[in-house]
Amino acid sequence: MSRLVRYGTGMCRSIKTLRRPETAATTGEIEAAARQFIRKVSGFRTPSQRNEAAFEGAIDDVAETARRLLESLGVEVEEGPDRWTPGSGRQREHSHPHPLTTTA
């Protein structure tokens, strides 16, 4: 049976901006932002098998709401992947280490 994985108490509280303001938003970026939000709200990185449907349903609901918001603000939304990659310059530096960051 799969167990829920809880973030440690040292988890960074920031939520990264996942959309470049000068370009159209992609469906992948919207989904990534929704997933990040649901993980933050629930306190779990991955759901148990029992809770997976509720977790994924919440991500779908938040993504749909975010898409409607962006479109109502005049932001073009196009089908495509999440274009954010670590080190792409779209993340802010923090004064504390991220507890889930692994180093090579």
Domain ranges of the chain: 26-74
Report which of residues 101 and 60 the model is more confident about. 60
| Digit-coded pLDDT (tens) for 43-97 | 999 999 999 999 999 999 999 999 999 999 999 999 988 876 655 544 444 444 4
Report which of residues 87 and 34 the model is more confident about. 34
**Single-letter amino acid code for the residue at 95:** S
Instruction: Give residue 12's pLDDT.
Output: 56
Instruction: Give residue 101's pLDDT.
Output: 45
Residue 78 backbone phi and psi in degrees, to 5: -125, 155
